[in-house]
Structure 1
């Protein structure tokens, strides 16, 4: 069974933006003030591009330019690749990997409503792993309560990880028939 989770459940809603007419120094100060690695560029409040720390290094620092020598329009990555708040988190992960990008603005009807980053996705994945671990422990406790004369009817073998209908507790571990023999 596959569970779908919409991006809106985990996106960051307060996105740092700056108008396209501002200068690069203002953009960099905003990144420092808000402690972010990217800023969404807007033109008349519509999202049109993104500038990341990598863009600054690649297009300014590595070319030994001064920030005043380049406009935000020249610096930003455009067109802006974005997603909808109803897009699935798993599909979003695949999109980010395929496109080799770490941030995706969330746009609805041309309006920026959030952003999702690779860090957001990793945090959710880690949390889900922890929840699955807790669920397995709960399931294991339920199985122990069903135990009759040392036999367990069904569960997950603690050595091989496979589901078995014939688990036994051996030295404090639930083992399937194959693992008990080895």
Structure 2
């Protein structure tokens, strides 16, 4: 059985809550990722995703350079333990209506798992 720790991304990508959405979208483009953890100082307060940007900024024709990340971020961050199966992860994503999970616990996040990561074993025929 494939576990979360086998597919998760260990490099965390973060952005300060007061940054403009245009900065967030550019960072996602450069890093080729779909989400950023949102920080307020040293505290992780939410997550901003491609979907947040499309549904809350683009759909309303807002100017991304004038909208702060904290205004559109999703909270709370949904998390999963690294030892869980990817089937458990998929169930949590479905129940929470999210495509991204923080890997860790309420005190420490050390990875991210996206729905794209869950597709990885299918392409490698490892299920």
* Shorter-chain TM band: 0.7 to 0.9
Please say if residues 46 and 74 of structure 2, whose CA atoms lie closer than 8 Å, have aligned partners that are also in contact.
yes
- What CA distance in whole angstroms lies between the structure 2 residues aligned with 1:66 and 1:109? 33
Alignment length, in residue pairs? Answer: 126
Shift of 1:54: 1.6
Report the TM-score when normalising by structure 1. 0.61
- What CA distance in whole angstroms lies between the structure 2 residues aligned with 1:10 and 1:87? 11
- 3-state secondary structure, aligned to 2:60: coil
The equivalent residue for 2:20 is 23
The equivalent residue for 2:11 is 14
Shift of 1:110: 2.0
- What CA distance in whole angstroms lies between the structure 2 residues aligned with 1:108 and 1:71? 27
The equivalent residue for 2:69 is 72
Please say if residues 47 and 110 of structure 1, whose CA atoms lie closer than 8 Å, have aligned partners that are also in contact.
no
Please say if residues 84 and 106 of structure 1, whose CA atoms lie closer than 8 Å, have aligned partners that are also in contact.
yes
Structure 1 segments, 4+ long, off by >6 Å, are none
User: Is 1:128 aligned with 2:126?
Assistant: yes
**Stretch of structure 1 that moved more, 100-109 or 34-43:** 100-109
- What CA distance in whole angstroms lies between the structure 2 residues aligned with 1:46 and 1:112? 11
RMSD between aligned residues: 1.9
Superposition map of 1:17-96 within 5 A: 17-96=14-93
Shift of 1:100: 2.8
Higher relative contact order (CA 8 A, sep 6+): 2
Shift of 1:98: 2.5
Superposition map of 1:108-147 within 5 A: 108=105, 110-126=107-123, 127-129=125-127
- What CA distance in whole angstroms lies between the structure 1 residues aligned with 2:41 and 2:81? 20
- 3-state secondary structure, aligned to 2:33: coil
Q: Structure 1 109/99 Cα, relative in aligned 2: closer, same or farther at 3 Å?
A: closer
